[in-house]
């Protein structure tokens, strides 16, 4: 029978890589804690309507990328393609938003039916941060500083550039969109298929085009900056001042619009050229209208999300993968000594709970057990034998460096081993 395979674009993450993932997760947790953000968890499945009403009907995500289906009750549900909509839904449903400030974070899998390629998958992991009830640029600057702190924590800050833009309010974008459409209509013979499709439904997305011909055409197009209100311009100027004051370098990219409809005023992305085409590792901005749009009381908000796979790829590409924690001790167990081995292992683990201690299972010759200890990179092995146990001693062998052997009494073994492990 043919073996079943994972679904295309949905990755298995194997033990050789999970330590990198864990280090990334731990770094993210340290940083969000440091800034006083609290975790929120919400389901991977929601009503499809939630995503249509938040991300926007005429976006790549909702038009082409969602995993949607009717469940057994006939409800149309979708696997979440991003976290903000579900986060807002959950926070509002449980009364966390009205007249309050919240600093929240989440992490988990997201699902988009895209063409799988390096850095682009159909199930991928996002870390996200959302802040509610704070209207000023101070919170925008805080969110960006938090992300910058994570890059420092991961030692990849040098490889990332911050791009920011002011996209104004939705009415302003609409007016700009009309002007952009008029300009592009006048050059309709130069439009590619994608631009033609977007011309009336979502012209701003054409700004995002990766096609050099479109970018050339856009060089002469109207610019969004001329359409945004003075109020949002001054918000943006204050944000820039706050970033400069915090020592966070940025580039203003007037083409940056982001692919989700709910954003307003300042938006940002962290981009790298170390990953090829999939260079955006983190994106976010303000979304002051979303809570109300989803039926809640008006609540200002801002947030961002980052793609964990792309960060893992960056860590690998830049050779910043954290060292694996080695096995500290491997207990070699001759046949018949399982009981003694397991009680010794229990004592040792009780004495040094942070150390990785493996007690051999499954029998076999001591020599081949030792080989296994070496292949795991264990630092020490305990060689049990019944003669020694009768006399109340065990042999401890160093597997690195000199390979020295010491005989320890069972009583002193925990302390002696703990000391040796700490010394190195
Ligand atoms: P892109 O322009 O690369 O398609 P996006 O604008 O669709 O990104 P967002 O919806 O803002 O991305 O999601 C935030 C982050 O999640 C992205 O910057 C990226 O790091 C990651 N991400 C988005 N889609 C995928 C995917 N299909 N596979 C892996 N990571 C992804
Ligand atoms: Mg996308």
Pocket test for ligand 1, best of 205, 208, 280, 304 (most atoms within 8 A of CB): 280
Gap between the Cα atoms of 17 and 274, Å rounded: 19
When pLDDT is averaged across residues 325-344 and rounded to a whole number, the result is 95
Q: What band does 31 get if pLDDT is binned at 50, 70 and 90?
A: very high
Q: What band does 149 get if pLDDT is binned at 50, 70 and 90?
A: very high
Q: How far apart are the CA of 334 and the centre of ligand 2, in A?
A: 56
Other C-beta atoms lying within 10 Å of the C-beta of residue 364: 15
Least confident of 87-101, 377-391, 394-408: 394-408
Regarding the beta carbon of 278 and ligand 1, being less than 6 Å apart is answered: yes
How far are the Cα atoms of 63, 65, 114, 275, 304 from residue 117, in angstroms, in the given order?
Answer: 20, 15, 9, 12, 23
Q: How far apart are the CA of 70 and the centre of ligand 1, in A?
A: 26
When pLDDT is averaged across residues 384-397 and rounded to a whole number, the result is 95
Gap between the Cα atoms of 56 and 82, Å rounded: 13
When pLDDT is averaged across residues 366-391 and rounded to a whole number, the result is 95
Other C-beta atoms lying within 10 Å of the C-beta of residue 327: 18
Gap between the Cα atoms of 205 and 364, Å rounded: 64
When pLDDT is averaged across residues 315-335 and rounded to a whole number, the result is 93
The per-residue pLDDT for 293 is: 94
Contact status, residue 290 vs residue 54, Cβ threshold 8 Å: yes
Q: Kindly tell me if the per-residue pLDDT of 401 is higher than 80.
A: no
When pLDDT is averaged across residues 287-305 and rounded to a whole number, the result is 96
105-108 long-range CB contacts below 8 Å, 24 or more apart?
Answer: 105/28, 105/32, 105/37, 105/38, 105/39, 105/40, 105/129, 105/130, 106/39, 106/40, 106/41, 106/42, 106/130, 107/25, 107/28, 107/308, 108/41, 108/44, 108/83
Q: Kindly tell me if the per-residue pLDDT of 255 is higher than 90.
A: no
309 vs 260: which has the higher pLDDT: 309
Other C-beta atoms lying within 10 Å of the C-beta of residue 192: 14
When pLDDT is averaged across residues 401-410 and rounded to a whole number, the result is 90
Least confident of 124-138, 155-169, 188-202, 384-398: 188-202
Ligand found nearest the CA of 285: 1
When pLDDT is averaged across residues 89-109 and rounded to a whole number, the result is 97
Gap between the Cα atoms of 418 and 415, Å rounded: 5
pLDDT in tens, 185-239: 999 999 999 899 889 888 988 988 889 999 999 999 999 989 999 999 999 999 9
The per-residue pLDDT for 313 is: 97
Regarding the beta carbon of 121 and ligand 1, being less than 6 Å apart is answered: yes
The per-residue pLDDT for 331 is: 98
* pTM attached to this predicted model: 0.92
- Taking all residues of the chain, what is their mean pLDDT, rounded to a whole number? 95
Q: How far apart are the CA of 63 and the centre of ligand 2, in A?
A: 12
Q: Which domains are delineated in the chain?
A: 15-169+228-317 (3.30.930.10), 329-423 (3.40.50.800)
Nearest to 91 by CA among 107, 105, 112, 110: 105
When pLDDT is averaged across residues 395-399 and rounded to a whole number, the result is 95
The per-residue pLDDT for 422 is: 86
Regarding the beta carbon of 382 and ligand 1, being less than 6 Å apart is answered: no
Alpha helices in 35-160 (DSSP H): 48-55, 60, 84-93, 137-154
The per-residue pLDDT for 323 is: 85
When pLDDT is averaged across residues 351-373 and rounded to a whole number, the result is 96
Pocket test for ligand 1, best of 283, 308, 309, 313 (most atoms within 8 A of CB): 283
The per-residue pLDDT for 424 is: 66
When pLDDT is averaged across residues 42-56 and rounded to a whole number, the result is 96
Backbone dihedral angles phi then psi of residue 49, each to the nearest 5 degrees: -55, -35
Q: How far apart are the CA of 83 and the centre of ligand 2, in A?
A: 14
């Amino acid at each position: 029978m043919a073996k079943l395979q994972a679904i295309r674009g949905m990755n298995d993450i194997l033990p050789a890589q999970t330590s990198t993932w864990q280090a990334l997760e731990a770094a993210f947790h340290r940083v969000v804690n440091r800034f006083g953000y609290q975790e929120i968890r919400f389901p991977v499945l929601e009503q499809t309507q939630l995503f249509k009403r938040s991300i926007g009907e005429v976006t790549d995500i909702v038009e082409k990328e969602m995993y949607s289906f009717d469940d057994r009750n006939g409800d149309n549900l979708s696997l979440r393609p991003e976290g903000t909509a579900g986060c807002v839904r959950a926070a509002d449903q449980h009364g966390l938003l009205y007249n309050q400030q919240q600093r929240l974070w989440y992490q988990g899998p997201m699902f988009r039916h895209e063409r799988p390629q390096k850095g682009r998958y159909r199930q991928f992991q996002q870390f996200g941060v959302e802040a509610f009830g704070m209207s000023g640029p101070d919170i925008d600057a805080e969110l960006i500083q938090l992300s910058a702190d994570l890059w420092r924590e991961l030692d990849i800050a040098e490889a990332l550039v911050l791009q920011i833009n002011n996209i104004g309010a939705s009415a302003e974008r609409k007016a700009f969109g009309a002007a952009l459409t008029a300009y592009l209509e006048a050059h309709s013979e130069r439009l590619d298929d994608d631009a033609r499709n977007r011309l009336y439904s979502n012209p701003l997305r054409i700004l995002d085009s990766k096609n050099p011909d479109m970018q050339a055409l856009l060089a002469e197009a109207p610019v969004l900056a001329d359409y945004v209100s003075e109020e949002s311009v001054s918000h943006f100027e204050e944000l820039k001042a706050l970033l400069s004051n915090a020592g966070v370098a940025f580039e203003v990219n007037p083409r940056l619009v982001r692919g989700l409809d709910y954003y307003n005023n300042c938006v940002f992305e962290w981009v790298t050229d170390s990953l090829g085409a999939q260079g955006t590792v983190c994106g976010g901005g303000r979304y002051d209208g979303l809570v109300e749009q989803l039926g809640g009381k008006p609540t200002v908000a801002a947030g961002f999300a980052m793609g964990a796979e792309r960060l893992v790829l960056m860590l690998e590409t830049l050779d910043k993968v954290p060292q694996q924690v080695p096995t500290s001790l491997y207990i070699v167990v001759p046949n018949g000594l399982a009981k003694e081995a397991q009680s010794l292992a229990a004592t040792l683990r009780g004495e040094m709970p942070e150390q990785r201690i493996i007690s051999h299972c499954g029998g076999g010759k001591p020599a081949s057990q030792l080989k296994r200890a070496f292949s795991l990179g264990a630092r020490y092995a305990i060689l049990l034998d019944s003669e020694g146990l009768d006399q109340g001693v065990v042999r401890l062998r160093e597997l690195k460096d000199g390979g020295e052997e010491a005989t320890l009494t069972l009583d002193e073994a925990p302390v002696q081993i703990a000391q040796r492990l700490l010394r190195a």
